[in-house]
Structure 1
Amino acid sequence: MDACEAVEKELQRVISKFNGVHENAKRMLGDVAKNFDDFKSSIAEVPAEEKLTTEQINILRETLTKTKEKLQRLTTDHRDLHGAVSKIGKTIERNFVSDFSTITRNDVLVEEQNIQLLNKVIAQHLQRNNLDDVAATLINESKLPAEEIVSDPFSNLHRIWEAIYRGDLTEALEWASEHSAKLEARNSSLEFKLHRIAFLQKLDAENGGGSPIEAIAYARKHFSKFVDKFEKEIQLLMGTLMYIPVGLENSPYRGLCGPNLMVEAADTFLKDACSILGITKDSPLTVVTNTGCTALPALLNLKQVMLSRQVLGMWNGRDELPIEIDLDSEHRYHSIFACPILRQQSTEENPPMKLVCGHVISRDALDKLCSGPTLKCPYCPVDQSPNDAKLIYF
C-alpha cells in the first residue's frame, strides 16, 4: 500500500505539472497569435505598392523576437515535463520489486501434485465468484480429476447474497427458515431483517405493493416470533401503515426506504451463513494473496538488510518466516501461546504445559525449572511434581 501511495503521489505531481504546462502553452500561443493579428491589421492599412515603414518593421521584429522567446520557454517546459514523466518509472522500480526469487520457493511447483493443488485452489476460487465457465475450462485444460473438485457451498450463498441486493428474498427466506434453529442459537437477527424487507415491499406501490391488508396479514404470520427481541422495530413498521397514501419517502419513516436495509440484510446473511456452514467468507486464494501482499514488503526489507550486512547464510530454512509478520485479527486462525518464562512461542516439540496450580508454561521451561522430583511454580509457591503437568491443546 505504501508503494502504491508513493507512485500515486508522483503521478499526481506529474499530472499537476502537465496541466500547468498546458495552460501556460495555451496562454503563450494565444499571445503570439494576437501579436501577429495586430501586426496584420497594422500593415493591412498600407497600400500594396508602398513599402513598410520603419515603425512597422520594428513591430515585426519585436513580434518575431517575442515569438521566439515564447517558443523557447515552451520547449524548456516540455523538456522538464519529460523529466518528470521519467521519474514515475524510477519511482515504480524503486517501490515495486520484480525479482522475488530470494524470498520465494520455486521448487514447490516442480512436482506435478503441487501444480494440481494450485489449479484446484484457483478453480474453487473461480467457482466462488460465479465464474463457473472459466473454472470448467481450467479444470478441463489442466486435466484435474472431476471428483476432486467439490462444489463449494459458498457459490450458492453468493448467489443468494446477490439476490438480496436486488430485492429478491425468495431463496434467502427459504434458507433462513431451514436454518432457523441454528440462527436463533447464534442470536442472529437475519430472519427478522429479511421479513422486515418483505413487509416493506408489500407497502411499495411502485413495485406492485401498496396493500395494507396484505402487509398486516404478513406481519401477523411472521412477526409474532420476533416480538420479544424486536418489539420497538415492529412498532415502527406498524406505524408505516398510516402513510401508505402519501408514500413512505414522504413520511417520518423515510429511513426505511432505499437500499440500506437490503445491504444490511445481505451482509448479515453472508456472515451468519458462512459461520453456520463452517466456511470462510473469503476464498483461500484471496486470503493467501492478501496475506502475501502484507508480508512481502517486510521480507524484502529484511533481505536488503541481510545483503548489506552480508549475513545471507542466516536465512536458509524457508519453511518458517525469519520475522513476525503483523497481520490483522481477521487473518489469524490459530491460537498462539508464548511461554511467559522463556519468551518463546510454543511448537509441537515445545508445547504448553498446565501445572497443578493452573499456571501454564512451555515444556522447555518445565524441564529447566525442575529440581529433582519437585517443581516450584514460578508464579505461586505451590510445590508439585513435574509429572503432574498436563499437555494443553489450543
Structure 2
Amino acid sequence: MEQCACVERELEKVLHRFVMYGHQSEERLDELLRSVCELRGQLVTFGVQDADLSVLSQTMAQCCKNIKETVQLLASRHKDIHGSVSKVGKAIDRNFDAEVSAVVAETVWDSPERQKYLSETIVEHLYRQGMLSVAEDLCQESGVVIDMSMKQPFLELNRILEALRMQNLRPALEWAVTNRQRLLDLNSTLEFKLHRLYFISLLNGGITNQLEALQYARHFQPFASQHQRDIQILMGSLVYLRHGIENSPYRSLLETNQWAEICNIFTRDACALLGLSVESPLSVSFASGCMALPVLMNIKQVIEQRQCSGVWTHKDELPIEIDLGKKCWYHSVFACPILRQQTSESNPPMKLICGHVISRDALNKLTNAGNLDQDPFSCTGRNTVSPAFYPHS
C-alpha cells in the first residue's frame, strides 16, 4: 500500500498541474482575445485612413508580441507537465515489479474447469456492479452459460439500487414488503428505515404534506415496539412543519447521508437473502492479492539471495503467514467428522485432549453411550474436552 501511496502522490501532482495549466491558459487566452477585439473595434471606428499609421503599426506589433509571448509561455508550461507525467511512470517502475510470475503457479489456470470458474466469478462481479451488457458479452465470448434464475436477482437488485440513488423509494419498499418475513428472521431494520425515509421526504414538502404524512405514519405501527423512540421523534417533527423542519430541533432528519446509508443497508440485506456476501468475491480477492503480492515478492527475493531450496514449492499454501487486516478475516467451516454435520453456534466444535475436534452433539452422544473413556479416533487413554474456536483463515 505504501507503493500505491507514492504513485498516487505523483499522480496528484500531475493532476494539480493540469488544472492550474487549464486555468492559466484560459485566463491568458481571454486576455489576448479582449485586446484583439479592442484593436479591431478601433480600426472599425476610426478607419485606416484616419488613423496614424505609425501608431497603428506599433499597436499591431505589440499585439503580435503579446500573442507570441503567450504561446511560448503556454508551450513551456505544457513541457513541464510532460516532465511530471514521466515522473509518474518512473514512480510506477520504482515501486512495482512488472514481473510477478515468479510467485504464481504457472499451471493455476490451465484446467478448463478452473477457467470456467474464473469466468463465472467475473460475470457475477459484473452483474453485482450493474454492468449487465458487459457481462452478457463476456458470457458469449467465453462460452459461459448463466442460468436466468441466477441473473434475475442481480437484475432486480441493481434496478432497486438505481432507483434509490435517484431517491425513489417505491421499488425498495415493494421489495421489502414482499420479503418482510425473511427480513424479520434476519432482524433487519430495512423496511422501517425505508418507511422512515419516505416519511422524511414528505416532511420536506412542508405544511402541504401534513395530512399525507399523518396518514403515512400508520406504516410505523408494526415497528412500534422495536423503534418507539425513532417514531416519537418523527411524529414530534410534525409540529414544526409550518416553520420548516430545517429551522427546528429536528433538522438532523434532513441529513443527505441517509440515502447512502439506505443503499448500503439494502445491499447488505438483499445479499444476505440471496446467500451472497456483501462484497464481490472478485473484489476481495483482488484487494487481498494487492496487499500480499509485495510481501511475496520480497520473500521470493530473499529466498533466491540465500539460495534456500525447497522453501518455495508453488503449492496451495503460502510459505509465510501474511496479515491482510481484519477486513479479510473469515471464519473457516468445520464439519464434525463423526456426525458429518457442519457445526454452528448452537452446536459448536469441542476439542478433545488428544487434539481431535468434534461437534458438541457428537460429544453428548459419546458421553451418553459411555464411550468417552476411549478416544473415538482410536487414540489410547482417557479423554477430556475443551471448547474449540473457529480459526481465522
Distance of 1:199 and 1:17 partners within structure 2: 47
Structure 1: which 5+ residue stretches go unaligned? 24-74, 338-351, 364-373, 377-383
Q: Which residue in 1 is equivalent to 2:240?
A: 243
Aligned-residue Cα RMSD (Å) equals 4.0
Q: Which residue in 1 is equivalent to 2:43?
A: none
Instruction: Give 1:293's aligned amino acid.
Output: C
Instruction: Give 1:107's aligned amino acid.
Output: T
The 3-state SS of whatever aligns with 1:354 is: strand
Decide whether aligned partners of structure 1 residues 10 and 202 sit closer, same or farther in structure 2, where only a CA change above 3 A counts: closer
Distance of 2:198 and 2:13 partners within structure 1: 51
Listed one character per residue, the Cα deviations across residues 278-316 of structure 1 (whole Å, up to 9, x for unaligned) are 211122211211111111111111111112111153211
Q: Which residue in 2 is equivalent to 1:191?
A: 191
Q: Which residue in 2 is equivalent to 1:51?
A: none
Instruction: Give 1:314's aligned amino acid.
Output: V
Instruction: Give 2:241's aligned amino acid.
Output: I
Distance of 2:310 and 2:322 partners within structure 1: 21
Distance of 2:106 and 2:317 partners within structure 1: 16
Distance of 1:139 and 1:336 partners within structure 2: 31
- 1:17 deviates by 11
Q: Which residue in 2 is equivalent to 1:287?
A: 284
Decide whether aligned partners of structure 1 residues 390 and 229 sit closer, same or farther in structure 2, where only a CA change above 3 A counts: closer
The 3-state SS of whatever aligns with 1:130 is: coil
Q: Which residue in 1 is equivalent to 2:328?
A: 331
For the pair 1:169 / 2:169, whether they are aligned, the reply is yes
Distance of 1:182 and 1:103 partners within structure 2: 45
- 1:213 deviates by 1.5
Listed one character per residue, the Cα deviations across residues 1-54 of structure 1 (whole Å, up to 9, x for unaligned) are 2112223445667899999xxx9xxxxxxxxxxxxxxxxxxxxxxxxxxxxxxx
- 1:272 deviates by 2.3
Distance of 2:190 and 2:17 partners within structure 1: 52
Decide whether aligned partners of structure 1 residues 290 and 139 sit closer, same or farther in structure 2, where only a CA change above 3 A counts: same
Q: Which residue in 2 is equivalent to 1:223?
A: 220
The 3-state SS of whatever aligns with 2:320 is: coil
The 3-state SS of whatever aligns with 2:168 is: coil
Instruction: Give 1:204's aligned amino acid.
Output: N
1:1-394 matched pairs, under 5 angstroms: 1-9=1-9, 88-147=88-147, 150-151=150-151, 153-205=153-205, 210-219=208-217, 221-335=218-332, 354-355=351-352, 361=355, 385-386=381-382
- 1:393 deviates by 9.7
Listed one character per residue, the Cα deviations across residues 90-140 of structure 1 (whole Å, up to 9, x for unaligned) are 432121111011111232333333323222221221122111111111111
Listed one character per residue, the Cα deviations across residues 118-163 of structure 1 (whole Å, up to 9, x for unaligned) are 2222122112211111111111122223549932634422332332
Distance of 2:132 and 2:198 partners within structure 1: 31
Instruction: Give 1:217's aligned amino acid.
Output: Q
The 3-state SS of whatever aligns with 1:320 is: coil
Decide whether aligned partners of structure 1 residues 127 and 305 sit closer, same or farther in structure 2, where only a CA change above 3 A counts: same
Decide whether aligned partners of structure 1 residues 257 and 211 sit closer, same or farther in structure 2, where only a CA change above 3 A counts: same
Distance of 1:336 and 1:182 partners within structure 2: 24
Decide whether aligned partners of structure 1 residues 261 and 277 sit closer, same or farther in structure 2, where only a CA change above 3 A counts: same
The 3-state SS of whatever aligns with 1:335 is: coil
The 3-state SS of whatever aligns with 1:109 is: coil
Contact 1:203 1:210 in 2 (8 A): no
Distance of 1:326 and 1:122 partners within structure 2: 25
The 3-state SS of whatever aligns with 1:246 is: coil
Alignment TM-score, normalising by the size of structure 2: 0.65
Instruction: Give 1:124's aligned amino acid.
Output: E
Deviates more, 1:80-89 or 1:146-155: 80-89
Decide whether aligned partners of structure 1 residues 248 and 79 sit closer, same or farther in structure 2, where only a CA change above 3 A counts: closer
Contact 2:103 2:297 in 1 (8 A): yes
Listed one character per residue, the Cα deviations across residues 140-190 of structure 1 (whole Å, up to 9, x for unaligned) are 122223549932634422332332232211121122222323333333222
Alignment TM-score, normalising by the size of structure 1: 0.65
More contact order relative to length (CA 8 Å, sep ≥ 6): 2
Distance of 1:93 and 1:199 partners within structure 2: 54
Contact 2:14 2:81 in 1 (8 A): yes
Decide whether aligned partners of structure 1 residues 222 and 83 sit closer, same or farther in structure 2, where only a CA change above 3 A counts: closer
What percent identity do the matched residue pairs reach? Answer: 41
Listed one character per residue, the Cα deviations across residues 62-84 of structure 1 (whole Å, up to 9, x for unaligned) are xxxxxxxxxxxxx9xx9999998
Decide whether aligned partners of structure 1 residues 175 and 88 sit closer, same or farther in structure 2, where only a CA change above 3 A counts: closer
Instruction: Give 1:361's aligned amino acid.
Output: G
Listed one character per residue, the Cα deviations across residues 232-285 of structure 1 (whole Å, up to 9, x for unaligned) are 221221122222233222322221114222222222222222223321112221
Decide whether aligned partners of structure 1 residues 81 and 190 sit closer, same or farther in structure 2, where only a CA change above 3 A counts: closer
Distance of 2:389 and 2:17 partners within structure 1: 61
The 3-state SS of whatever aligns with 1:223 is: helix
Decide whether aligned partners of structure 1 residues 106 and 159 sit closer, same or farther in structure 2, where only a CA change above 3 A counts: farther
Decide whether aligned partners of structure 1 residues 203 and 9 sit closer, same or farther in structure 2, where only a CA change above 3 A counts: closer
Larger Cα-atom Rg: 1
Aligned residues: 302
Contact 1:354 1:392 in 2 (8 A): yes
Decide whether aligned partners of structure 1 residues 12 and 177 sit closer, same or farther in structure 2, where only a CA change above 3 A counts: closer
Listed one character per residue, the Cα deviations across residues 311-356 of structure 1 (whole Å, up to 9, x for unaligned) are 153211321111112123332333399xxxxxxxxxxxxxx9722x
